[in-house]
C-alpha cells in the first residue's frame, strides 16, 4: 500500500475513533505493513497535519493519538456549542492528585504527611472521576491501600505519559524562589 493512502486511512481512523488510537490497533488494520512502516507513516502524518493552519490537531495523548480542535479557538467553539466550561477539580483535589502523580504508588498516610491534612474526601472525588485508581496494598502492617494515577488522568491533563510531567526538582526550585 502506498504511504499516502495509508496516511489517509490513519487520519480517518483517528477521526472516527471514540478513544485514543494506538499503534498496535493500526497494526491490525495494516497486517501487511511492518511496524516501522506504520510508525513512519504515522509520524509524518502527524507532522504534516499539525503544520497546516487548520482547525484540528492530531495530539499524542496517553501513548496514542487523537484528533482535537485547537485550544486557541475555544471561545468561538464554545459560543457555537453554547456550552460552559466543564467543572474543574478543586485545589484540594489537584494537590492530592499532584502528590499521587509524583509519589505513586502512595498511601493515604504518605499523602497526609505531605499535605499536612487528611485527604480522604479529595481521594474519593478523584476515584469517582477515575483520575486515580487503587493499584495495590503496601506490604506493611495494616496493608494500607496504594493509589496511582490512571489513563484517564493522562487524558484529562493532555499527557502522553508520566515522563512528560515536569520534574519535582523544578517545583522545588520554584518553591525556593517563592519563599
Partner 1 sequence: MDGEDLLNTESQETAEGEGITIRLEAFQGPLDLLLHLIKKEEIDIWDIPIAHITEQYLEYIKVMKDLNINLAGEWLMMAATLIYIKSRMLVPQEQKSDDQTEENEDPRQELVYQLLEHQKFKNAAEMLYTREEIENAVWNKPPAEVLEDGSEVVAVTLFGLLQAFHEVVLRFESQRTMELDQEVVTVEQKISDIRKRFLVHDTLLFSSFFAEALSKKHLIVLFLALLELVRLREIWLYQKKAFEEIQISKVKEKA
Chain residues binding partner 1 by CB under 8 A are 15-16, 18, 57, 66-72, 74, 77, 81-82, 85-86, 88-92, 94-95, 97-99, 101-102, 114-118, 156-159, 165-166, 168, 171-172, 174-176, 178-179
**Of 136 and 158, which CB lies nearer to partner 1 in the complex structure?**
158
Assign residue 35 a region: left if phi > 0, alpha if psi is -120 to 50, beta otherwise?
A: alpha
In a 10 Å sphere around its CB, with 0-12 CB exposed, 13-18 middle and 19+ buried, how is residue 138 labelled? middle
Cell of 110: 504518605
**Of 90 and 124, which CB lies nearer to partner 1 in the complex structure?**
90
Rounded CA separation 12/49 (Å): 12
Q: How far is the CB of 72 from partner 1 (least distance, A)?
A: 8
Q: How far is the CB of 37 from partner 1 (least distance, A)?
A: 27
Which residue has cell 497535519? 49
**Of 35 and 118, which CB lies nearer to partner 1 in the complex structure?**
118
Amino acid at each position: 500500500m502506498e504511504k499516502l493512502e495509508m496516511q489517509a486511512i490513519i487520519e480517518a481512523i483517528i477521526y472516527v475513533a471514540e478513544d485514543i488510537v494506538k499503534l498496535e490497533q493500526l497494526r491490525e488494520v495494516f497486517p501487511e505493513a511492518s511496524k516501522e512502516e506504520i510508525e513512519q507513516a504515522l509520524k509524518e502524518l502527524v507532522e504534516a497535519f499539525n503544520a497546516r493552519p487548520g482547525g484540528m490537531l492530531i495530539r499524542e495523548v496517553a501513548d496514542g493519538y487523537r484528533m482535537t480542535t485547537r485550544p486557541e479557538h475555544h471561545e468561538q467553539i464554545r459560543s457555537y456549542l453554547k456550552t460552559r466550561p466543564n467543572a474543574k477539580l478543586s485545589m484540594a483535589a489537584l494537590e492530592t492528585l499532584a502528590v499521587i502523580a509524583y509519589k505513586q504508588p502512595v498511601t493515604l498516610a504518605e499523602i497526609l504527611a505531605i499535605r499536612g491534612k487528611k485527604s480522604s474526601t479529595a481521594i474519593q472525588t478523584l476515584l469517582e472521576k477515575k483520575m486515580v485508581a487503587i493499584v495495590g496494598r503496601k506490604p506493611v502492617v495494616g496493608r494500607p491501600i496504594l493509589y496511582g494515577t490512571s489513563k484517564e488522568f493522562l487524558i484529562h491533563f493532555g499527557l502522553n505519559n508520566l515522563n512528560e510531567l515536569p520534574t519535582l526538582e523544578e517545583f522545588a526550585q520554584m518553591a525556593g524562589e517563592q519563599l
